[in-house]
């Protein structure tokens, strides 16, 4: 988190948007635009994340504006919640800081035919069994092992490789963003060290803000869209939040090492070394893109295996197959990725590299990349909140294409650094506090729960209200957590 107060200009555009004019700093190619409301903005001004929005505007080839979502907070290079599109035909660059260390961190939502009444007496058993079955925590390895030769297939083919081995269904792929695979991934661009870190980590949850949650749909805002998504009030769902684990972290770290000195080589001047980048069409840029895509494919495989393990636990506890429990994937979205997409910019159709770091794709109804069954309502958007309040399902809206390169927020966004949250929680039992709210939580350490306590996050309802009012995505359903496992 930034330590200083932002003192630059913030001009209110409308009820949901603020501008940092490009005149703020010589070298900004475009304005900065932050989607927020007055309540969230008061808090944001105490953070240096808006400075990062301004710094991103220096990137060569950046289009329209440097953007930030209402869950914005301080990050590496780009703020978390940052979005930038660059045009390779105008010298556009690719920047690992615009993707993040946890490449293709994302969220997956699974529905069921169970209601809260069906699970409440089994809830503690369910949480304990999930915690025992699914590896959580830093560096933990799991039951699935992929030696380097096999791992390279996984990195190249994505989740379809697992489905081919019986670890999932063709339907799972259909309801995963990009069908769980980015083409152009090159495992040979992934270092041996990264491969070693990934060999035993596919199907593991990790630590930090990653979680697996049992949730109950507590309110439906859009009955028609909810019906298409297969969601209804009191339904029990499972939400999975994880990414590419140590492999993805290493891919990013390797890229940042490789990019040291590269901006100078191409005559690129940046206000922050953490924005290290390379022209998309350069050798360095292409190497990173190929490795980033491989790590993204690993992340989809990770979430696929986490889902399969969750399905097994539910089947064991309830004595029915996961198919009988109708534990079908609603959708899987990534929120740390760069993708080559076509967008209308200044009245022209352009192919641009959209960096989304802590930001979720939110394509509107009719977009060809949405699964056919959802095309009438828009792409499902899954927004996790903190483990004491709520998470949301929304659908993409036309405003996202007009204003944010088809993007919306990705979560609640931190309100406290991990250090501050730990200090604030001193002497308290966060697990007992959560239990008093009706949430059973298991984690590897009390420290992990303290860092992720509800107070450490903005209220997700406020964040979702901004993107709904701004026309980026529309509210469909709200889920409350009842059980959670964490690292």
Q: Which residues are catalytic?
A: 410
Nearest to 149 by CA among 139, 140, 160, 161: 161
Which residues in 404-417 are b (16+ Cβ under 10 Å) and which e? bbbbbbbbbbbbbb
| CB-side neighbour CA atoms (13 Å) of 267 | 1
């Amino acid at each position: 988190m930034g330590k200083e107060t932002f003192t630059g200009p913030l001009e209110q555009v409308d009820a949901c948007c603020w501008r940092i004019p490009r005149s703020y700093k010589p070298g900004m190619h475009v304005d900065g635009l932050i989607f927020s409301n007055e309540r969230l903005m008061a808090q944001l001004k105490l953070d240096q994340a808006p400075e990062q929005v301004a710094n991103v505007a220096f990137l060569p080839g950046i289009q329209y504006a440097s953007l930030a979502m209402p869950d914005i907070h301080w990050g590496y290079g780009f703020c978390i919640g940052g979005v930038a599109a660059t045009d390779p035909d105008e010298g556009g660059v690719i920047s690992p800081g615009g993707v993040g260390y946890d490449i293709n961190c994302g969220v997956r939502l699974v529905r069921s035919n169970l209601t809260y009444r069906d699970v409440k007496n089994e809830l503690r058993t369910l949480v304990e069994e999930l915690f025992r079955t699914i590896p959580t925590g830093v560096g933990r390895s799991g039951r699935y092992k992929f030696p380097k030769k096999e791992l390279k297939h996984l990195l190249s083919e994505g989740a379809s490789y697992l489905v081919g081995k019986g670890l999932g269904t063709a339907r799972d792929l259909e309801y995963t963003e990009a069908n769980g695979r980015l083409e152009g991934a090159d495992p040979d661009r992934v270092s041996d060290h990264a491969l070693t870190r990934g060999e035993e980590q596919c199907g593991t949850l990790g630590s930090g803000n990653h979680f697996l949650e049992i949730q109950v749909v507590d309110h439906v805002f859009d009955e028609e869209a909810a019906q298409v998504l297969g969601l209804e009030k009191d339904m029990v769902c499972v939400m999975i939040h994880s990414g590419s684990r140590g492999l993805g972290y290493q891919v990013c770290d390797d890229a940042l090492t490789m990019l040291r000195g590269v901006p100078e080589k191409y005559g690129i001047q940046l206000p922050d070394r953490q924005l290290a980048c390379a022209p998309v069409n350069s050798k360095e840029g292409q190497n990173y893109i190929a490795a980033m895509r491989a790590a993204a494919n690993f992340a989809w495989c990770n979430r696929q295996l986490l889902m399969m393990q969750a399905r097994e636990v539910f089947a064991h506890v309830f004595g029915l197959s996961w198919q009988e429990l109708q534990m079908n994937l609603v959708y899987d979205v990534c929120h740390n990725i760069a993708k080559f997409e076509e967008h209308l910019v200044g009245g022209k159709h352009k192919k641009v590299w959209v960096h989304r770091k802590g930001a979720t794709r939110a394509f509107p109804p009719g977009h060809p990349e949405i699964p056919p069954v959802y095309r009438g309502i828009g792409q499902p958007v899954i927004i996790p909140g903190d483990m004491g309040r709520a998470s949301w399902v929304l659908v993409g809206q036309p405003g996202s294409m007009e204003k944010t390169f088809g993007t919306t927020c990705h979560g609640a966004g931190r309100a406290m650094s991990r250090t501050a949250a730990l200090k604030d929680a001193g002497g308290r039992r966060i697990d007992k506090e959560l239990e008093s709210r009706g949430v059973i939580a298991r984690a590897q350490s009390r420290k992990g729960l303290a860092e992720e306590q509800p107070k450490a996050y903005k209220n997700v309802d406020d964040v979702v209200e901004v993107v709904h009012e701004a026309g980026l995505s529309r509210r469909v359903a709200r889920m409350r957590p009842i059980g959670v496992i964490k690292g």
